[in-house]
Amino acid sequence: MSVTASSLLHAGCAVICLLWTLIVLGAGRRGAAPLAFCTGSITVWAAVVALTPAAPLTGLAGLFEILRTGVWFGVLALLCHRLAGASARPVARQLSWLAAGLTVVALLGLVPGMAAALQPAPLLARLGLALLVVLLAENLYRNAAEEARWHVVMPALALGGLAAFDLLIYADAVLSRAFSPALIDARAVVTVFAAPLLAVAALRDRRIRRDVPVARNFIFHGATLLVAGSFLVGVGALSEALRRMGTEWSGTAQASVLAGGVLALAVGFTAQSVRSRVRRLVVENFLRARYDYKREWLRCVATLSAQSEASGEIRAIRALADAVDSPSGVLLVRDPETGRLAWRAGWNTETTVESFDQAGEAALLAALRDGAWVAQPAPGDLAGARACLPALWLAAPLPHRDGLLGVVLLGRPRAAFAPDAEVFDLLRVLGTEVALFLAEREGAQRLAQQRQLQDYAARFAFVAHDVKTVAHQLTMLLANAETHIADPDFQQDMLLTVRASADRINLLIARLREPAGEARAGGGAGTTLAQSRLRLLAGQHGNVALRAGTECAAAIPPDAFDSAVGHLLDNAIEAAPGLRVDLHLRREDDAILLDIIDQGPGMSAAFVRDTLFRPLATAKPRGNGIGAWQARELVRRAGGDLEVITGPGRGTTMRLRLRSAEPALTGPLETTP
């Protein structure tokens, strides 16, 4: 046989024996370790031969073959000691000494320089070692008690049969003075057939039931490896058969078969439908329960909480579809206004039906028993639901509280199977979690919308209050114009005031159009608090005295500063009509302090705590309770704060504490009457 075909045969043998080894170890049976040691030794031997196909009996391959046979003998001797009668133990002990001597001779034949000198002793030693394994297997079965033969028949047949085939190989070599490559490679196929007997022997116990404690993923992947290993053995055998035909195109056919086999194996590993069929085969024949509920619950939670590009509705569909291996689905959700089911999202389907008629919805709800049951409609039933998903297979309800939040329609699975009560129970449980996820998501969206409306309402209230302030300033301007219109200085001040009012109104309109995130931002350009700016603010509000040093920069947007100071000046003037209001600007460390001081009646601590900064709460007949609250909000958004220093009969000082936007600047103070 060619080197490539021999490697494939032994590689497939190694993969299959590795699988059986892991299954035996995973069973967790205490007495299964010796048999797992047998299959493990076969795995290592086959893997080494696959890597060195040109020298299957010498070097490392020869070493592991001898060790493999020695392991077989040791396991059979152990079984004789445990399960065979007392008469079998002396025979096993004598054979063990003889086997040890033959093993040493066989190993010496692998030492470079000694093989030629010892021939044919190493070859005869291997033959004798195989013969001893056959004799010990026969002795084990013959001397085992009747009730114990059920436990020893499988290992005796497997190990005795493999040793008998080795005996055939070495006997043929002794007679023909050459090893047969065909027999050597056929040994890999025989080993594949015998290895399951060892695994069955390890698992063959009445105490070990169908649901052996092996991880489900391990079983699924192991079954895949078993299929892959068997496929490799078949490809190797077919390749060798084509080579032996001896025609001109045999080499081409052999290469084509190998390439096609590798390609088919790759497609099989990656095709979801193939994996689904393997999974269904394993579940239906080897597992008591169809699902690992812990794994399904964690998978559902991970799907719903995944941060992916898929929308929440698509993730909700997949949380149920993946549980039954469905490749498509549709989410129907009750409309909160009409109470009717409406199409919300589709996964792997091009059909989009916004809603279906009342009769179709009634039929679907009847099949679901108002959310208490998973429906499996017969072909032709539920025409309305099939309009949403032509490949309809199951309809899973999404119960929430005392009602039905929606329905998930699932398409036919990749590998068809008949759903049972276990499938329906799992879908109902997962449907409850999906309904909770969708309800929380809907609630979060509504809360976000309410916050947007609340933010817009707050901005509108700010704008309305600022418009009121501008209107008050223009009213004062018109009243003064009747007396001072001929004064050039008044005309100049009037022009500045009207221009500032127009700019202010345009800015207020622009603020209403800003997105909520930008409108609530606390950063922005700083405000240069020059004397000219403060004088303008003071002049717009009447009897205001300014005390300020050189200009400084505060970390607050100009419009926010003007609005906050304007509201506080209006409140101060209204609190003390006809009395002077002081505006005092100074620095304190890295902060800028602006005091607005009135000589009014003052406020109690309870009023400041409970009423002053509460929106829409006011003691003024024509007030709307927004000015102080808006001023503090604007200052706090800029990283500052508004302090109130007051008491009954002591007047009020509103102190704006602003962050400085530059190093400290000092200069002489001046007083502006």
Q: Higher confidence at residue 238 or residue 155?
A: 155
pLDDT band at 666 (very low <50, low <70, confident <90, very high): very low
pLDDT digits (tens, 9 = 90+) for 300-335: 888 888 887 778 888 999 899 888 888 888 888 887
Parallel/antiparallel/unpaired status of strands 544-548 and 581-588? parallel
Q: Which residue shows structure tokens 């009409």?
A: 338
**Are 320 and 202 within one domain?**
no
> Is residue 225 domain-resident?
no
Does 516 score more than 60 pLDDT?
A: no
Domain containing 355: what range? Answer: 293-416+425-441
> Is residue 256 domain-resident?
no
Radius of gyration for the chain, computed over Cα atoms and rounded to the nearest angstrom = 45
In terms of Cα–Cα distance, which of 162, 163, 166, 160 is closest to 183?
Answer: 166
Does 164 score more than 60 pLDDT?
A: yes
**Confidence (pLDDT) at 143:** 76
**Confidence (pLDDT) at 642:** 92
**Are 8 and 150 within one domain?**
yes
- DSSP characters over 167-214: HHHHHHHHHHSS--HHHHHHHHHHHHHHHHHHHHHHH--TTS-SS-S-
In terms of Cα–Cα distance, which of 62, 176, 169, 72 is closest to 122?
Answer: 62
Q: Among residues of the chain, what percentage have pLDDT more than 70?
A: 71
Does 177 score more than 70 pLDDT?
A: yes
**Confidence (pLDDT) at 521:** 42
- The CATH number that applies at residue 631 is 3.30.565.10
- The CATH number that applies at residue 394 is 3.30.450.40
Q: In what order do the strands lie in the sheet with 341-347?
A: 341-347, 329-334, 403-411, 392-400
**Are 542 and 662 within one domain?**
yes
**Are 165 and 314 within one domain?**
no
pLDDT band at 87 (very low <50, low <70, confident <90, very high): low
**Confidence (pLDDT) at 530:** 54
3-state SS class at 492: helix
> Is residue 242 domain-resident?
no
Indicate the residue among 210, 225, 244 that finishes a domain. Answer: 210
Classify residue 409 by its DSSP letter: E
Beta bridge partners of 554: 527, 660
Instruction: Write the secondary structure of 287-318 as one string of H (helix), E (strand) and C (coil).
Output: CCCCCCHHHHHHHHHHHHHCCCCCCHHHHHHH
pLDDT digits (tens, 9 = 90+) for 194-253: 888 887 777 664 333 334 444 555 555 555 666 666 666 666 667 666 666 666 666 666
Contact 505, 537 (CB under 8 A): no
**Could you give the number of structural domains in the chain?**
3
Cβ atoms < 10 Å from Cβ of 198:
29
Contact 139, 91 (CB under 8 A): yes
- Per 3-state DSSP, the chain is made up of helix, strand and coil in percentages (nearest 5) of 60, 10, 25
**Are 190 and 95 within one domain?**
yes
pLDDT band at 24 (very low <50, low <70, confident <90, very high): confident
**Confidence (pLDDT) at 619:** 61
**Confidence (pLDDT) at 652:** 92
3-state SS class at 405: strand
3-state SS class at 644: strand
C-alpha span between 379 and 388 (Å, rounded): 15
From first CA to last CA, the distance across the chain in angstroms is 114
**Confidence (pLDDT) at 109:** 78
> Is residue 398 domain-resident?
yes
Indicate the residue among 182, 210, 238 that finishes a domain. Answer: 210
Q: Higher confidence at residue 536 or residue 648?
A: 648
pLDDT digits (tens, 9 = 90+) for 88-101: 667 777 778 888 88
Indicate the residue among 210, 227, 244 that finishes a domain. Answer: 210
Least confident of 172-176, 188-192, 546-550: 546-550
